[in-house]
Amino acid sequence: MKKLLLLSLIIITNSVTANVDKVFDNLKPFFPTIKIENISSSELEGFYEVVLTTPQIEVLYISLDGRYVIQGAVTDIELMANLSTKKINSEKINILNSIDENNKIVFKAENEQYILHVFTDVDCPYCAKLHSNMQGMNSLGITVKYLAAPIEQLHPNAQSAMEKIWCAEDKAIAMHNYKTNRYLPNSPDCINPVEDQLAISKQLGVNGTPSIFLENGSNIPGYQEPNQLLNSILQAIAQ
């Protein structure tokens, strides 16, 4: 009996593996960067879930036989939840949390309750406006972790300025001084994460600044006042 169960398990496992291999082979010509570990079981019966991470994060579903593909929103009408968005947000926050904390410029709330990752451009006026509310955000328990997303088309000098800021002895003071008084430190050149973080911002679909990511991976594009941000955070938690 045990041998029969073991044989059945081996047959099922081999069949699943063969299906994944076939799905991978079918998708590879259309998505050259796909890896077999991007394919997994899904909540959608009869379909695998496929997470693509380049050039931007995307979730699609492909039938177990590798023939039919669903791209775009897939909604669970019982839970009124978008399965695709849920997975994409999960991947986004995993990427943000994987960034070395030493490469973020952090303005920590004394009574930290919430964390925001904010892609910023130091020459962006609404980024400066957001920063002017730092004390208000911190007083609400909101910690802000800045990441670099200089927009060359709008602010051609922003990237070089941000490299100076990220190379400063105290990055937080340098960021604050530039955003409030346009004072740029005369930092020596260093190995810095500005270009890498800019690439990550594009991977996450950022096309403007400030771009605010909540702890569940959802994104708020643009400026919000501290109390608006807190309401957005609480709404995200309640979902």
- The CATH number of residue 76's host domain is 3.10.450.70
Does residue 89 sit within a domain?
A: no
Residues 80 and 187 in one domain: no
Containing 76, the helix (H) or strand (E) segment is: strand 75-76
Q: How far apart are CA 212 and CA 118, in angstroms?
A: 5
Residues 101 and 215 in one domain: yes
Read off the pLDDT of residues 154-190 as tens digits, 9 standing for 90 and up. Answer: 999 999 999 999 999 999 999 999 999 999 999 999 9
Per the structure, the complete domain to which residue 79 belongs is given by 2-84
Instruction: Please count the structural domains in the chain.
Output: 2
Residues 126 and 50 in one domain: no
Choose among 217, 202, 163: nearest CA to 186: 163
Average pLDDT over residues 216-221: 94
What's the pLDDT band for 7 if we cut at 50, 70, 90? Answer: very low
Chain centroid to CA 238: 20
Q: Among residues 25, 55, 84, which one ends one of the domains?
A: 84
What's the pLDDT band for 197 if we cut at 50, 70, 90? Answer: very high
Q: Alpha helix locations (H) across the chain?
A: 2-27, 83-98, 125-132, 134-139, 158-166, 171-181, 194-203, 226-238
Residues 77 and 101 in one domain: no
Does residue 11 sit within a domain?
A: yes
- pTM of the predicted model over 0.75: yes
Q: Among residues 84, 109, 129, which one ends one of the domains?
A: 84
Contact 239, 227 (CB under 8 A): no
Residues 65 and 117 in one domain: no
Residues 123 and 204 in one domain: yes
Read off the pLDDT of residues 102-142 as tens digits, 9 standing for 90 and up. Answer: 999 999 999 999 999 999 999 999 999 999 999 999 999 99
Task: Say what percent of the chain tops pLDDT 90.
Answer: 64
Residues 114 and 64 in one domain: no
Residues 22 and 130 in one domain: no
Neighbours of 20 (CB within 10 A): 18
Q: Among residues 84, 109, 135, which one ends one of the domains?
A: 84
Measured in degrees and rounded to the nearest 5, phi and psi for residue 236 equal: -65, -40
Residues 136 and 228 in one domain: yes
What's the pLDDT band for 55 if we cut at 50, 70, 90? Answer: confident
Does residue 51 sit within a domain?
A: yes
Residues 101 and 70 in one domain: no
DSSP code string of 42-86 = -SSTTEEEEEE-SSS-EEEEEETTS--EEES--EETTTTEEHHHH
- Which of 52-56, 78-82, 162-166, 222-226 is predicted least confidently? 78-82
Question: The tokens of 189 are what?
Answer: 């050149």
Choose among 120, 95, 224: nearest CA to 171: 120
The CATH number of residue 196's host domain is 3.40.30.10
Does residue 90 sit within a domain?
A: no
Residues 147 and 203 in one domain: yes
Does residue 74 sit within a domain?
A: yes
Does residue 104 sit within a domain?
A: yes
Residue 79 has pLDDT above 80, yes or no: no
What's the pLDDT band for 72 if we cut at 50, 70, 90? Answer: confident
Residues 63 and 177 in one domain: no
